[in-house]
Structure formats: structure tokens, C-alpha cells
């Protein structure tokens, strides 16, 4: 089984993702990136950050030890969003970056994401090369050649400056509630939105190492919706644990997901092409077609969206989950940047978020997560393939079906879109039952 998933290495901290593995990964990453020319001829430099999980503390120590022992100077930036690490790698000319986070996953999980020189995520080939080099014999530097460890206390302020520099309008007059998921955005998100001129109410912004994503953030919108309605805010913003995602709710509490945000930005910026994934809602694709904007589809994962954007010169892309990439400002999904640009459109147009979201009509979509199955057998099940083909033939152009094994969690996702929610729900539940039967661990 491959160690790397769709977004780095993840697992239960101290069981799957141990200090020993973290150290070995850091060493292997330093060696691989050096050999492909990503590390400069001078003393290599790395940026290391983390979200607010307690396990990030010992994993950071292991990663820093691994990098420094391999002759890399390490700049520790503490608790910051994942996109901050990508920005800092690019802006400082660092040779690599490491973010310790499991994003929206529960607190016991953690993960390691690597960034190459320039701030981009590693492609599949580089990840495979790192995995292949784990635990290999190597010549260890000594004396002056070992890496040094520096605490970078100005990193947060430089990231905030970067975010604010993306704005061309003041956000005064906008009242926003931000749910920080008790994660990496807990300090920086309320600060940057307030500096941008918005009136800010922050919730779930008291991380204690144990409460990240706990009934809050982008996977639990109930508290955000309640606070938006209670306070009479213009909108709510929900981040995930590492703040590379942004979901929104309007003043009435209606969900404005990544597809809506992408559609709003695409129309406002008058782009020619927008990049999405196989999970992008049919309503979005229809709206873009009607607006004369072409759509390009990639596998799930913001790095695949970015690869398409870079290869074809596109500037806007993203995922329904709230990963939005705006290449005019960054080469990775940034939840804070997304929120600022969304509020910027509100300020410029003087329209409410509900009015802006009328740019598209969402097709009813049902997503069922099927757990405790052998997801590796999904591609070889003939019964599942036949069932999908049969349902797709009946749906025609009025819907679609997608089954995929999660790259970050032990489950299979069943997604069905149809003209009515009840029809989508019926098909999704039947397929989920078939997946459970066909992919049972015992079969």
C-alpha cells in the first residue's frame, strides 16, 4: 500500500504516523529533493509549520531533527495555515516546506505535507521517490555541515501582509462570522479579516491541542449558521483544521460551497476557463457553459487542479470542498485568501452573498461514505460496475454517479446527482448497500 495519499501522509498519530516515520520521511525528502535539483547549491533551507493538534508537537520535533541531521537549515514558524507554509517557501526562496496537519480529519489523526521549491505540492513521482528512499544508508554531515534550527517569529505577519495585498477594496460594512475550527486559522483569520476592514465575530478560535475540528469548522456548520443568524451577520466563513479550505453561509444560513464560490469568482473575474474535479456539481458546469466559460475536469485533489492550471495557463480552479486556487495570488488552495476575495466581490458589487450565489443552481447531490470495506477492490468489482452503468443509463444527462476510494480516509465515497434529491438519495443508498456487500473485509 502506498504511504502517500491524495494529500501527503496521514494516519493516527503515534500509531500509524510515528516520530520515527516522520524523521525518516524528513531525511528522505531532503535527499530526494536535493537529487532532482530542487535544493540550492547553498545551505538548504526548509520551512516547517503545523496546525494545533497536540501530536504536532512531537512530530515537529522529529521532522526538524531529520531535516537538520541531513544538513538542512530549518525555520520553525509554529501554528499557521497550510497555505502560509506554501507562501513562505515561495517568498523566502526556501528549498522545501513541511506542514504537519491532517486538515479536516479528527484530532487523533495527523499528517505530513511536503512542498517543493516555489511552494508547490510534490507530484506523484517525487512522493514515490521519497517513499522508496526511506531507511536507506546515507552519509551523515558532521560539524559545520549539520543544519541549524531557527524560530521565525515574523512569519505570521508576512503571511498577513501577503493576504491583504491581494485586496483592492476595503471590506468595511461587511459583518462576518468566522469559524476557525480551533485550528491553524484561530489567530490569523480573525486578525486579517479585521485588518481588511470587516466587522469580525470569531468562534471556535480557542485551540487547546485536543479540540481541532471537534463539532466545528467546515465539516460542522451548525454553530456557524446559528451565530450568523443570531448576530445578523452578512455571511459566515468556515475553515478546516489547516485553513486551506473555505466554505461560506449567507445571511439566512444557506450553504455556499466551493462550487458556488468558484462560480461567483469566475463570473466576476470574467475568466475564459475554470478548472474543477469529477466532484464538481453539474449545476456549476451548466452555469459556466451558459456564461461562455469553459470547464476542465481533474481527479479529486487540489494538486491535480493545480497541475491542470499550470499546464494549460488557467488562473482559477478549485473543489466543491472549498479548496480554491487563484494563481494571480497563490499556487495552492488558501481558505483565508478565498474568504477575502469572496467578501471583496460583495464589497465591489454591493450585493449580498445570497444574490451572488444565484449565478448557479445546484443539482441535488447525495454523498454517502461507506466505511469498514476493502476499498482496494472497488475497481475490480464487476457487480458495482454493472450497477453504475445501469443507473447512469437511466439518469442520462440529468444526473451522474461517482464512486471513489478516499485518498485520506479508510472509506469509499458514493456520490449521486439527479434532478430530485429523493431520486439521488434512492440510487446512492442502493449503491452504498452494494458496496458494503461487494467490498466487505471478509469477502
The secondary structure of 81-138 as a DSSP string is -HHHHHHHHHHHT-SEEEEE--TTS-TTEEEEEEEETTSPBP-HHHHHHHHHTTT---
Q: How many helices (H) and strands (E) does the chain have?
A: 14, 18
> Which residue out of 52, 55, 101, 103 is catalytically annotated?
103
pTM: 0.88
| pLDDT reported for residue 124 | 84
pLDDT tens string, the chain, 443 residues long: the values are 578 877 789 999 999 999 999 999 999 999 988 665 445 567 899 999 999 999 999 999 999 999 999 999 999 999 999 999 999 999 999 999 999 999 999 999 999 999 999 998 888 888 999 999 999 999 999 999 999 999 999 999 999 999 999 999 999 999 999 999 999 999 999 999 999 999 999 999 999 999 999 999 999 999 999 999 999 999 999 999 999 999 999 999 999 999 999 999 999 999 999 999 988 999 999 999 999 999 999 998 888 999 999 999 999 999 999 999 999 999 899 999 999 999 999 999 999 999 999 999 999 989 999 988 888 888 888 999 999 999 999 888 788 898 988 876 778 999 999 888 999 999 999 999 999 988 875 54
| pLDDT reported for residue 174 | 98
Cβ pair 133, 270 in contact under 8 A: no
| pLDDT reported for residue 60 | 98
What does 179-239 look like in DSSP terms, one character per residue? Answer: E-TTTTTTTHHHHHHHHTT-EEEEES----SS-TTTT-GGG--HHHHHHHHHHT-SEEEE-
Q: Where are the domains of the chain?
A: 9-155, 166-359, 365-438
Q: Which three cell numbers stand for residue 289?
A: 457553459
| pLDDT reported for residue 441 | 58
| pLDDT reported for residue 322 | 95
Measured in whole angstroms, the distance separating CA 114 from the mean position of its chain's CA atoms is 13
Domain 365-438 belongs in CATH node 3.30.310.50: yes
| pLDDT reported for residue 242 | 97
How far is it, in rounded angstroms, from Cα 308 to Cα 290?
Answer: 22
| pLDDT reported for residue 37 | 45
Domains 166-359 and 365-438 share a fold: no
165 is catalytic: no
CATH hierarchy code of domain 9-155: 3.40.120.10
Classify residue 99 as left (phi > 0), alpha (psi -120 to 50) or beta: beta
DSSP structural state of residue 175: E
Cβ pair 262, 274 in contact under 8 A: yes
Best CA proximity match to 48, nearest among 20, 67, 70: 67
Q: What CATH class does 166-359 carry?
A: alpha beta
Burial class (CB in 10 A: 0-12, 13-18, 19+), 131: middle
- Angle formed at CA 312 by CA 307 and CA 314, multiple of 5 degrees: 85
3-state SS, residue 13: strand
Amino acid at each position: 500500500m502506498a504511504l502517500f495519499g491524495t494529500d501527503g501522509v496521514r494516519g493516527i498519530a503515534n500509531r500509524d504516523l510515528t516520530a520515527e516515520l516522520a524523521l525518516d520521511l524528513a531525511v528522505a525528502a531532503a535527499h530526494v529533493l536535493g537529487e532532482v535539483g530542487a535544493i540550492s547549491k547553498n545551505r538548504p533551507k526548509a520551512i516547517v509549520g503545523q496546525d494545533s493538534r497536540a501530536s504536532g508537537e512531537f512530530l515537529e520535533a522529529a521532522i526538524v531533527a531529520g531535516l537538520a541531521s541531513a544538513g538542512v537549515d530549518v525555520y520553525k514558524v509554529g501554528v499557521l495555515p497550510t497555505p502560509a507554509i506554501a507562501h513562505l517557501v515561495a517568498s523566502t526562496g526556501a528549498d522545501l516546506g513541511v506542514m504537519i496537519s491532517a486538515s479536516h480529519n479528527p484530532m487523533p489523526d495527523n499528517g505530513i505535507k511536503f512542498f517543493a521549491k516555489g511552494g508547490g505540492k510534490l507530484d506523484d513521482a517525487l512522493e514515490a521517490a521519497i517513499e522508496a528512499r526511506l531507511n536507506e544508508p546515507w552519509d551523515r554531515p558532521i560539524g559545520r555541515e549539520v543544519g541549524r534550527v531557527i524560530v521565525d517569529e515574523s512569519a505570521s505577519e508576512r503571511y498577513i501582509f501577503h493576504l491583504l495585498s491581494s485586496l483592492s477594496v476595503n471590506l468595511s460594512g461587511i459583518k462576518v462570522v468566522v469559524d476557525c475550527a480551533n485550528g491553524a486559522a484561530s489567530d490569523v483569520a480573525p486578525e486579517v479579516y479585521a485588518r481588511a476592514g470587516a466587522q469580525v465575530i470569531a468562534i471556535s478560535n480557542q485551540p487547546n491541542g485536543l479540540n481541532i475540528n471537534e463539532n466545528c469548522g467546515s465539516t460542522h456548520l451548525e454553530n456557524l449558521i446559528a451565530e450568523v443568524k443570531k448576530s445578523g451577520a452578512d455571511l459566515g466563513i468556515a475553515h478546516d483544521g489547516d485553513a486551506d479550505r473555505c466554505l461560506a453561509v449567507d445571511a439566512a444560513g444557506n450553504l455556499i460551497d466551493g462550487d458556488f464560490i468558484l462560480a461567483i469568482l469566475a463570473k466576476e473575474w470574467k475568466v475564459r476557463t475554470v478548472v474543477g474535479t469529477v466532484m464538481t456539481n453539474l449545476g456549476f458546469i451548466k452555469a459556466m457553459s451558459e456564461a461562455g466559460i469553459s470547464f476542465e475536469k481533474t481527479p479529486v485533489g487540489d494538486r491535480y487542479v493545480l497541475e491542470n492550471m499550470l499546464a494549460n495557463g488557467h488562473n482559477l480552479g478549485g473543489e466543491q470542498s472549498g479548496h480554491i486556487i487563484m494563481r494571480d495570488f497563490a499556487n495552492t488552495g488558501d481558505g483565508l485568501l478565498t474568504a477575502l476575495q469572496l467578501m471583496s466581490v460583495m464589497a465591489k458589487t454591493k450585493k449580498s452573498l445570497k444574490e451572488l450565489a444565484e449565478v448557479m443552481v445546484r443539482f441535488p447531490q447525495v454523498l454517502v461514505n461507506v466505511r469498514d470495506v476493502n476499498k482496494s477492490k472497488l475497481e475490480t468489482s464487476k457487480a458495482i460496475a454493472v450497477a453504475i452503468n445501469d443507473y447512469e443509463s437511466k439518469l442520462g444527462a440529468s444526473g451522474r454517479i461517482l464512486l471513489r476510494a478516499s485518498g485520506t480516509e479508510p472509506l469509499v465515497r458514493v456520490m449521486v446527482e439527479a434532478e430530485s434529491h429523493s431520486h439521488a438519495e434512492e440510487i446512492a443508498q442502493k449503491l452504498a448497500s452494494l458496496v458494503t456487500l461487494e467490498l466487505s473485509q471478509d469477502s
